[in-house]
Copies of this chain bind each other. A is one copy, B any other.
Amino acid sequence: MIIREKQNPIITKEQIKPTAENLVVVGVFNCGAVKYRDEIILLLRVAEAIANQNSEVIQIPIADRKIKNGYSIKEIAKDYHKYDFNDSRFIYKLDGKRQIENLTSISHFRLARSKDGVNFIVDQVPTIFPETVYEEWGIEDPRITHLEGSYYITYTAVSKYGVCVGLIKTDDFIQFQRLGIIFSPENKDTVLFPEQINGKYYAYHRPVPTEIGYPDIWLSSSTDLLHWGEHEHILSVATNDWSQQRIGAGAPPIKTKAGWLNIYHGADNDGKYYLSSFLTSLDDPGRIIKIANKPLLTPTEDYERIGFYPNVVFTCGAIMENDMIDIYYGAADDKIAKASISLDDLLSLHD
């Protein structure tokens, strides 16, 4: 039985200090999670928009390398013949093929610490801020993997060039080193395995093709974490009712007696997001042992159903200790919640 934390949501946007006075925090969600020393560390995705918008134009923050932790502002006229403003997350162009003109907000990462995994103290300033040309529209959905003594953060880098996957390394959560783009567009939802398997590093990732194929989960290997290959298709959308539209890896794989435990998300045809899981062979992450035949978590609570983007539960990190798994997840794209389940109960969803 999965049990939601009774203090849910455990982190809300009201707790986050905006990066600058002209910004408003529109969401804190999709966080990486790891145990570091005697604390639980969450790396939060914080989305900000320009505060006090007037009615004539929409102002969009764009990361600007000339300004330390700062944004320049792009203005888009509210021209309903030219743009579609119906999605809270994106502004679509109406000419020709459906292209996104801009996001409505921009995300950076903020560190939060806790002794009990429920009450978190959130840093007052950005921990990792968009910096490169591939991050001008923001950095999103960090996953943290503890690997060979260091912590590796895989994240979504968004810019006019597309949606791709970046890698950052840290040993102490104070200094962070960018290691470049590891998957070219269009790709996201990348999780690194916490150890080498048969002498290679592995990752699941989720490319998005256009007219042939679907947003499925793929496996890749690496010998240095920077260069990836031997790409292999692993899991298709629409293998069940809660994954008709899209799927993607969620928390980095957790090693269990039954195999690598992979908590992933699926979205149904209504765009409602669920969490579920699949197991892969400990010595071959390309071999699926079992896929859960029911969802692990469905958006049923108000904080999961109502928000910046409704009906979403989306995880980037889960921590297993003593066979109990704590799942930290973004709820309705604007708050962070937590749910816990025993390993045995989770594995029983696969029967």
Contacts and interface: CB of A to CB of B under 8 A. Distances in A.
Contacts of A229: 180-182, 222, 226-228
A148 interface: no
A208 B174 CA distance: 36
A183 interface: yes
Contacts of A227: 221-224, 227-230
Size category of the A interface is 35 or more
A94 interface: no
A164 B231 contact: yes
A178 to B, nearest CB: 11
Contacts of A92: 211
Interface of A is mostly: strand
A236 to B, nearest CB: 8
Contacts of A224: 223, 227
A180 B160 CA distance: 30
A186 interface: yes
A126 B46 CA distance: 55
Interface in A267-297: none
Interface in A193-218: 205, 207-213, 216, 218
Contact of A161 (B182, B213, B220): B213
5 contacts: A186-B186, A186-B210, A227-B228, A227-B229, A228-B229
Interface of A: 90, 92, 98-100, 133-134, 137, 158-164, 180-187, 205, 207-213, 216, 218, 220-224, 226-233
Given A181-B232, A185-B213, 8 more contacts: A99-B211, A137-B212, A180-B229, A180-B231, A184-B207, A185-B212, A186-B207, A186-B208
9 residue pairs, one from A and one from B, having the closest CB atoms: A162-B213, A227-B229, A227-B227, A162-B209, A186-B209, A185-B209, A184-B231, A181-B231, A226-B229
